[in-house]
Amino acid sequence: MMRSLRAQLSLSILLVLLFTVLLSSIFAYWFINREFEKYVARQEIARSESIADDVASQYNVLTRTWNEDSLHTIGMYSLYDGYILKMYDADGAVLWDAENHDVSLCGQIMGEISARMERAKRAGSFVTHTFDIDHGGRNVGSVSIMYYGPYFFSDNEFRFIRALSVALLLTGILAALFSVIAGSLLARRISRPVTVTADIAAQIARGNYDIRFESGTKTRELNELVTAVNCLAGALGDQENLRKRLTTDVAHELRTPLSAVGSHLEAMIDGLWQITPERLKSCHEEIVRLGKLVSDLENLAKIEGGDLKLNKSPVDLSEIARTAGENLKAEAAKKSLSLSIGGGPSVVDADRDRMLQVVTNLLSNAIKYSPEGGHISIEVTDTAADGIIRVIDGGTGIPENELPFIFERFYRADKSRSRKTGGSGIGLTIARSIATAHGGTITADSEQDRGSRFTVTIPKKMRTGDIPGG
């Protein structure tokens, strides 16, 4: 059976606290009792000895007689305290005997003590100690003292030990109550953020990506959990938006050329339009555009799906730059753009065709987004670890808020402008996937209306942990 985190935490905290309280109460009770019993037992021995001393001091050495009045007083005082005395002279004749004196009082006192000790669950029995009394090296008598042994509680002592038990019991009960309250409060504090996070995760699963939640906890791990879930919601929301836009964009990309071709062909079939080579050519161009879009998509799916097989060999990035420049010379010339390629050779281990595709995509973007008569430069830099290739233009630039998204599929910074330029928003996505597959990176810096700079960094040796196609 599944139990809630809160219930489990409450139970654990409760058990730990209860166990601690119980153990310390029992130990305290046992220890105090034991020490008290020892103390009382010592007191009784001391008291017996002091009674014997008192009795001894009633012997008059000069007259060699006992002061019987005093013996009687000592005997009676002792009796009331629970000590039953029998005093003898040197010949063994009884001087004073509590039981002879008042047998019923003795019985009553002994009965009370026995009953009290039985109530205190410390049953013992009456013991007798006999003390010989000597004077000047001569025996002058003896006293035998009978009391409840090994110790007994006086009325006050009995009340004290009872009060102590009650106090410890009450402390135990209070501490147990406190454990229940503290346990459930503590468990609530710990489990609340987890419960709320689980709720939030469930809501995210249902598609509510806008939900965010304040953790309100000072526990680091819980705070991290809440932050992670919030980030997850954000990332999923972004993905969801991207997916929605992707579907709309694909539909849009396909519809425009399809409807153009469709209406042209229809007009020609209906005889409204004459079939001329120009009209057929225009239809053909649209179909070629569609074909390119589909192959771009296929290409991307292949790269992103991890199916990309890199055909690696030592490749000089400046040779790649020159080839790309050569391939796009005509395009650049159409806009009277000047192109410069600088920097020394830099050889990396890479798939030449794929790297050419990256640079071609970047250069073709630079051409597309540059004004007539502008300048584009490609720079190759060689470092110990990497080969770096930069494509720099002085074109339209990319708005700062769009910059983080330009590598996403179908993302176009300025939709109307980009469509006019014929872009589909896949070129950079492909470029990034290829760079990543080589264990490298691609970044963009841009300033609106000032131009853009794209930097591709390819490591000379694949670093461990780089996953091709990732």
Q: Which residues bind ligand ADP (CB under 6 A)?
A: 361, 365-366, 369, 393, 395-398, 406, 411-414, 418, 423-429, 452
Q: Which is nearer to ligand ADP, 209 or 407 (CB)?
A: 407
| Alpha carbon distance 320, 110 (integer Å) | 117
Encoding tokens for residue 371?
Answer: 């004004």
The distance of closest approach from Cβ of residue 390 to ligand ADP in the complex, given in angstroms and rounded to an integer, is 12
How far, in Å, are 253, 377, 379 from residue 457 at the CA level? 31, 17, 12
Q: Which is nearer to ligand ADP, 44 or 296 (CB)?
A: 296
The distance of closest approach from Cβ of residue 296 to ligand ADP in the complex, given in angstroms and rounded to an integer, is 9
The distance of closest approach from Cβ of residue 397 to ligand ADP in the complex, given in angstroms and rounded to an integer, is 6
Q: Which is nearer to ligand ADP, 215 or 396 (CB)?
A: 396
Please, what is the Cα angle at 241 between 235 and 244, to 5 degrees?
Answer: 140
Residues 6+ apart with CB under 8 A from 83: 47, 48, 51, 145, 146, 147
Give the number of other Cβ atoms within 10 Å of residue 416's Cβ. Answer: 7
The distance of closest approach from Cβ of residue 393 to ligand ADP in the complex, given in angstroms and rounded to an integer, is 5
The distance of closest approach from Cβ of residue 450 to ligand ADP in the complex, given in angstroms and rounded to an integer, is 10
Contact in structure between 6 and 195 (CB atoms under 8 Å) = yes
Contact in structure between 115 and 148 (CB atoms under 8 Å) = no
Q: Which is nearer to ligand ADP, 110 or 398 (CB)?
A: 398
Q: What amino acid occupies position 263?
A: S
Q: Which is nearer to ligand ADP, 425 or 459 (CB)?
A: 425
Q: Which is nearer to ligand ADP, 148 or 407 (CB)?
A: 407
Q: Which is nearer to ligand ADP, 355 or 366 (CB)?
A: 366
Encoding tokens for residue 304?
Answer: 């992103």
Encoding tokens for residue 260?
Answer: 């153009």
| Alpha carbon distance 88, 94 (integer Å) | 4
Residues 6+ apart with CB under 8 A from 468: 306, 308, 310, 437, 438, 439, 462
| Alpha carbon distance 232, 229 (integer Å) | 5
Residue of closest CB approach to ligand ADP? 423
Burial class (CB in 10 A: 0-12, 13-18, 19+), 114: middle
The distance of closest approach from Cβ of residue 236 to ligand ADP in the complex, given in angstroms and rounded to an integer, is 23
The distance of closest approach from Cβ of residue 417 to ligand ADP in the complex, given in angstroms and rounded to an integer, is 7
